[in-house]
């Protein structure tokens, strides 16, 4: 398959399209070099409170604890809704007999576009046969990055403004 130059590490090191780790979000992709080895090296199970397997699952996370401010990231602040605003909204909805819907975006941090250059080593068990000594240049945030909440907030905020909403202050 062809190579993608959108996330090149330098002029001679490029990721191929099949090596992008999260293809649905254009974050990166890679195929396991050896599936049996990958299954031995990672915990692929999601367990409930009783320690029972509820589904086979794995989540790739970055090691944000090793990031250094000013080098790996600049800004991490992402505002959160105050509980008073939520209570006011729910009280108003109840008073007007409105239906309120709630949703959870399970991959929300994977939509945040990174402003900084962040490089990510190939996960154990998922090392590329074609580029075993290369690293990935992330274009979008991963869980564990210190700037992931801010990157997600910026994308969501921009979408809401483009949809006709306005920022307010309380």
Residue 168, in any domain of the structure: no
Q: 149 lies in a domain? A: yes
Does 150 have pLDDT greater than 70? Answer: yes
How many domains does the chain contain in total?
1
**Is residue 169 assigned to a domain?**
no
- For the stretch 95-148, pLDDT in tens is 999 999 998 887 787 888 888 877 777 777 777 888 787 777 778 888 778 788
Q: What is the pLDDT of residue 121?
A: 73
| Residue whose pair of structure tokens reads 């009280």 in the numeric block | 91
Which phi and psi (to 5°) does residue 61 adopt?
-125, 150
How many angstroms separate the CA atoms of 110 and 93, rounded?
31
- Give the Cα separation of 57 and 134 in Å (integer): 26
**Which region, left, alpha or beta, applies to residue 70 given φ > 0 means left and ψ of -120 to 50 means alpha?**
left
Residue 170 placed within a domain: no
- Describe the chain by its helix, strand, coil percentages, rounded to 5: 30, 20, 50
Structural domain that includes position 29: 3-162
Residues contacting residue 35 through CB under 8 Å, at least 6 positions apart: none
Q: CB–CB of 127/33 below 8 Å? A: yes
Please list, in sequence order, all residues whose beta carbon lies within 8 angstroms of the beta carbon of residue 20, skipping any fewer than 6 positions away: 4, 7, 26, 27, 28, 29, 30
The helix or strand, by DSSP H or E, that contains position 113, with its residue range, turns out to be strand 113-121
CA atoms 65, 120, 31, 108: torsion sign: positive
Does a structural domain hold residue 21? yes
- Predicted TM-score of the model (pTM): 0.55
Span 82-108, pLDDT tens digits:
899 899 999 999 999 999 999 888 778
The answer to whether residues 147 and 160 touch, using CB atoms and an 8 Å cutoff, is: no
Domain membership flag for residue 156: yes
Spatial neighbors of 151 by CB under 8 A, at least 6 apart, are 109, 112, 113, 114, 115, 140, 141, 145
């Amino acid at each position: 398959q062809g190579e993608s130059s959108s996330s090149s590490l330098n002029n001679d090191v490029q990721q191929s399209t099949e090596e992008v780790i999260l293809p649905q979000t254009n974050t990166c992709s890679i195929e396991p070099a050896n599936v049996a080895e990958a299954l031995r090296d990672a915990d692929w199970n999601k367990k409930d409170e009783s320690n029972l397997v509820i589904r086979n699952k794995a989540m790739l996370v970055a090691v944000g604890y090793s990031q250094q401010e000013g080098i790996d990231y600049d800004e991490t602040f992402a505002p959160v809704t105050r509980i008073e605003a939520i209570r006011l909204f729910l009280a108003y909805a109840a008073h007007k007999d409105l239906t309120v819907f709630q949703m959870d975006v399970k991959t929300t941090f994977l939509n945040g576009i990174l402003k900084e250059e962040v490089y990510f080593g190939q996960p154990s068990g998922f090392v590329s046969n074609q580029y075993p000594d290369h690293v990935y240049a992330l274009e979008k945030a991963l869980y564990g990055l210190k700037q992931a909440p801010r990157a997600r907030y910026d994308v969501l905020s921009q979408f809401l403004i483009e949809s006709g909403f306005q920022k307010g202050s309380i």
